[in-house]
Amino acid sequence: MPIGKLYLIPVPIAEGALHTLPAEVATHTARLRFYFAENARTARRFLRSLHAGLVLEEVTISEIDKHTGTDMTTLKKWLKEGKEVGVLSESGCPGIADPGADIAAVAQAMGAEVLPISGPSSILLAIMASGLNGQSFAFNGYLPVKDPARSQEIKAMENTSRKKNQTQAFIETPYRNEVLLADLLKNCDSNTRICIAKNITGTDAYIKTKTAAEWKKAIPVIGKVPAVFLLLA
């Protein structure tokens, strides 16, 4: 029996923004019956939003545990049985700052075909709209939560940005957005440009770039929404 395939399926960044997905997402999800997802409940809701007549009892979703990770035994079993398997992120593209990367790595090691489906990426969309350097950039994921490690990381990113003329991108858990912005303004030079990109593709999307000095004059309320932060020294 030929080995199965793994599909990395994007979901909207903003709640309900199905218009940002290519048609092939609906095409593949109409057929797939085996998935890995960070949250089974929201994954089912997403699938139902695409396919009103979908019988959810026919769909098997293995939830990625926050502490123990993905059930790789199940993944290997499904692929060995020749099944086509989907991976759903909570927001945007699987494999970028989420557990989908580990799933793709195992599938690659097994020799399975790994098929990324195009879709919205908050990181790339933020860079596109920021006006910062899109020729050279680095995504740093989540920064340390506490000082002094957090401040040290911010200063290190700013130094790298200055030396390489490289945009630095990073994210934070939504309820800590305001704290991260405060730490950026505390640690960055006044002329360093900082972009705040929140709820991208949503009706209330906000993408603004200003220097640290300019942000200090009018600090915005970001709120508990998905956000990407960028800096260029």
State the CATH number of the domain containing residue 10: 3.40.1010.10
Number of domains in the chain: 2
Beta-carbon count within 10 A of 5 CB: 17
Do residues 103 and 172 both lie within one domain? no
3-state SS class at 95: coil
Look up tokens 């989540």; give the residue: 142
Do residues 48 and 74 both lie within one domain? yes
Q: What residues make up the domain containing 88?
A: 5-116
Poorest-confidence range of 84-98, 129-143, 161-175, 180-194? Answer: 84-98
Q: How far, in Å, CA of 74 to CA of 80, rounded? A: 10
Q: How confident is the model at residue 1 (pLDDT cuts 50, 70, 90)?
A: confident
pTM: 0.90
Do residues 100 and 42 both lie within one domain? yes
Closest CA to 55 of 64, 44, 63: 44
137-147 residues labelled b (16+ CB within 10 A) or e (exposed):
bebbeebeeee
Q: How far, in Å, CA of 61 to CA of 81, rounded? A: 16
pLDDT digits (tens, 9 = 90+) for 86-110: 999 888 999 988 888 999 999 999 9
Do residues 58 and 147 both lie within one domain? no
